[in-house]
Amino acid sequence: MSIKKLALITTLVSSFFLTGCDDKQSAVSDNKSEEPTQVSTVKVGVISGPEQEVAEVVKQQAKELYNLDVELVIFNDYVTPNQALNDGLIDINAFQHKPYLDEQIKERGYKLAVVGNSFVYPIASYSHKLKPIDNATETDEGVKVTSPRGETFFIATNSTIAIPNDPTNLGRALLLLQHEGMITVDKTKGLLPTVLDITSNPYNYKIVELEAPMLPRSLDDAQIDLAIINNAFAGQANLTPSKDGIFVEDKESPYVNIIVAREADKDNENVKNFVKAYQTDAVAQKADQIFNGGAIRGW
């Protein structure tokens, strides 16, 4: 074969391959342009029941505002959601307060991070004996407190106050009493003080520890002037913080519920958009309705 014929064949073959590649590149490019925009999706762990109902509204808000698809993964206990998040089975969870998360991280070594606040489901004080007062000067010593409704109540010296006896809610109750200026507790005890850690009780309040389920019934006890009851047991007695509470935890409570992601994902755009979707008026209104005024927005 002549050199000229060989050169011609080489040129034709090269031309064929180059053209074929260009056609394939064009086809790939055309196919890409026809592909729909991918929608982001996150899996979010929540607890079944009322919090799941709130999360359904978050799901709607995420889709409408950020084109973010939320797949809710429902749990029936308070241990599994953090394990699932740490293991990558879900992307976010929203069910716990920070003291609980801190304890889980300490015990299990999870690499989890708080990415936002949701609601405070407040512990509150209730009474069947105390009535609102006007601005008249009280002759007895004690502490004036303001209810969520703007009413003023007077808690006199030597009043008896019932509180939960389990460590978390006991500490939470004592910190609430401290917040209202009724007692002070040892700061070194953090979120878990006991009655032995009360460092000042100027009005000689008598603190009685009871099993949490007994606290609503204690309101009818002639010896009890005030009881501090967590949301679950107050709700069973048709008591709500906003309508019936004498004084109530606010959004600054260390027990505000939180939204949690893995540390590696805390700055992820989908995670940020989920938090923004959660912290909307629509979600707050639904929570207020579901919890009958027993949910305080924590943001």
- State residue 39's pLDDT score: 60
**Four-point Cα dihedral 7, 11, 13, 19, nearest 10:** 180
pLDDT, tens only, 218-272 = 999 999 999 999 988 898 899 999 999 999 999 889 999 999 999 999 999 999 9
pLDDT, tens only, 146-201 = 999 999 999 999 999 999 999 889 999 999 999 999 999 999 999 999 999 999 99
Q: What is the mean pLDDT of the chain?
A: 88
pLDDT, tens only, 123-161 = 999 999 999 998 655 557 999 999 999 999 999 999 999
Mean pLDDT computed over 45-73: 97
- State residue 11's pLDDT score: 42
- State residue 293's pLDDT score: 84
- State residue 139's pLDDT score: 57
Mean pLDDT computed over 13-40: 44
More confident residue, 32 or 208: 208
Give CA angle at 167 (161, 172), nearest 5°. Answer: 55
- State residue 135's pLDDT score: 65
pTM: 0.76
